[in-house]
Amino acid sequence: MGYLVNLVLDRKPTVVVGAGSVALRKVTGLLAAGARVTVIAPRSCEDIRGMASAGRIALVEREYAPGDLAGAFLVIAATADESVNVSISEEARSLNILVNVVDRPAVCTFTLPAVVRRGDLTLAVATEGRCPALARALREDLESKYGQEYAELLDIMGRLRDQMLERGWESPRIQETLSRLYREGFLGRLASSSAKELEGFVTDVAGEPFPLDR
């Protein structure tokens, strides 16, 4: 069983080998995480070429060659050539670089869950690489259940937590109070209540007032 982590990739050098539709999804996710992305491929889809033209990524338009991964923090192999993908995996592992080979968990040092993002909230479904189709189907269920209102919920509750820490609240008290706010209907009140009503609800649950500044 894998050990799920949330990697900090801000300005970390990453390499994606391949430039088709699958590689595009990987590149988009890496950019969203703040990574510095280099794509290596002899041919690229239009969107990847556009990213390169805009200076968002570096594009090396040739076949992968040994040595291309030097200095990378993380590598994704997304080519249509199985032997090339295996070579990428072998080089990355020899250099102690994290590597994901699309749809080949046996030669990966990490796999990617199916994710739903709502602001800073991330919901992930992982199947240890055994059934990506099921992970995608479950992700679609999550997308329909957890809408964009959860981004606002997290933002407000995160700011409440910061205020509680500033007031010297102990961690168990913070966790219990925020859990109660959620269990007792804070999410539904975001859409139906005024700021004053929300602050009153928080005061009732927390035992003291907190400004929300929506």
- At residue 129, the pLDDT reads 81
Q: Are 122 and 138 in the same domain? A: yes
The whole-number average pLDDT for the span 140-164 is: 96
The pTM assigned to this predicted structure is 0.83
Number of domains in the chain: 3
Q: Are 36 and 73 in the same domain? A: yes
Q: Are 58 and 105 in the same domain? A: yes
Q: Are 131 and 161 in the same domain? A: no
pLDDT tens per residue across span 85-118: 999 999 999 999 999 999 899 999 999 999 999 9
- At residue 108, the pLDDT reads 95
> Is the residue at 8 inside a domain?
no
> Is the residue at 33 inside a domain?
yes
Q: Are 90 and 45 in the same domain? A: yes
**What band does 4 get if pLDDT is binned at 50, 70 and 90?**
confident
**Taking Cα atoms as reference points, which of 91, 137, 90, 142 lies closest to residue 117?**
142
DSSP label at residue 130: S
The whole-number average pLDDT for the span 3-28 is: 95
Q: How far apart are CA 92 and CA 2, in angstroms?
A: 19
> Is the residue at 103 inside a domain?
yes
Q: How far apart are CA 69 and CA 102, in angstroms?
A: 17
> Is the residue at 3 inside a domain?
no
The whole-number average pLDDT for the span 62-68 is: 97
Q: Are 107 and 142 in the same domain? A: no
- At residue 1, the pLDDT reads 79
- At residue 130, the pLDDT reads 85
Q: How many CA atoms lie within 13 A of 185 on its CB side?
A: 9
Q: Are 105 and 135 in the same domain? A: no
> Is the residue at 211 inside a domain?
no
The whole-number average pLDDT for the span 137-155 is: 96
The whole-number average pLDDT for the span 151-164 is: 97
**What band does 214 get if pLDDT is binned at 50, 70 and 90?**
low
- At residue 189, the pLDDT reads 94
Phi then psi dihedrals of residue 148, to 5 deg: -65, -15
- At residue 146, the pLDDT reads 96
Q: Are 127 and 84 in the same domain? A: no
**Taking Cα atoms as reference points, which of 89, 57, 106 lies closest to residue 98?**
89
Instruction: Give 147-150 contacts, CB < 8 A, sequence gap 24+.
Output: 147/118, 148/118, 148/119, 149/187, 149/190, 149/191, 150/118, 150/119, 150/121, 150/187
Q: Are 18 and 101 in the same domain? A: yes
**Enclosing domain of residue 43:** 13-112
Q: How far apart are CA 38 and CA 59, in angstroms?
A: 6
- At residue 78, the pLDDT reads 97
Tell me: pLDDT of 8 over 90.
Answer: yes
Give the domain CATH number at 138. 3.30.160.110
Tell me: pLDDT of 213 over 80.
Answer: no
> Is the residue at 7 inside a domain?
no
